Amino acid sequence: MPYSIVNSHPECNGYAVVKDSNNEVIGCHRTEAQAQDQLAAVNIAEYGERALPDNYRPADSPDVPEGRNCGNCGFNVEGYCIKWDDQIAANFYCNAWEPTAQNSKTRTVQALAILKLLRKI
């Protein structure tokens, strides 16, 4: 992704969404969840519709089990969903949620490979 979240940018007090190519701040946020929401919106605007399922929705929706969200899902690796191969917001949820305790060694290896690929972009 050509954008990322940093929490130590000199022009931002809090979490900054920055353009990776030149470190330009495109938004400052008090929380990481707010920054992730902007990051998701920027990526949708730039790249079009997401690969995430139709049931991807805010975690505070009435039908979402309490305490479940992308931020504590076993498929989440630093704000990236390895199941759906897409950037996610921590305060969202989909029906594929799994607890982090069920992560397997295979999933961890897969996640590391994806992160290595993303850092090359």
Mark whether 44 and 57 lie in a shared domain: no
Mark whether 72 and 102 lie in a shared domain: yes
Mark whether 31 and 44 lie in a shared domain: yes
Mark whether 102 and 112 lie in a shared domain: yes
Residue 79: give the domain boundaries.
Answer: 51-121
Mark whether 40 and 70 lie in a shared domain: no
Mark whether 77 and 37 lie in a shared domain: no
Q: Using DSSP, how many helices (H) and how many strands (E) does the chain show?
A: 2, 8
Chain segment 78-96, per-residue pLDDT in tens? 888 888 888 899 999 999 8
| Structure-model confidence comparison of residues 4 and 15, the more confident one | 15
CA distance 107 to 103: 6
**Over pLDDT 70: what percentage of the chain?**
78
pTM of the model: 0.46
Specify which residues 17 forms β-bridges with: 5, 27
Mark whether 92 and 112 lie in a shared domain: yes
Mark whether 43 and 60 lie in a shared domain: no
Q: Quote the number of domains for the chain.
A: 2
Mark whether 55 and 3 lie in a shared domain: no
| Structure-model confidence comparison of residues 65 and 85, the more confident one | 65
List Cβ neighbours of 12 (8 Å cut-off, separation of 6 or more): 25, 28
CA distance 8 to 15: 7
CA 19 to chain centre: 16
Mark whether 99 and 115 lie in a shared domain: yes
Q: pLDDT tier at 113 (50, 70, 90 boundaries)?
A: low
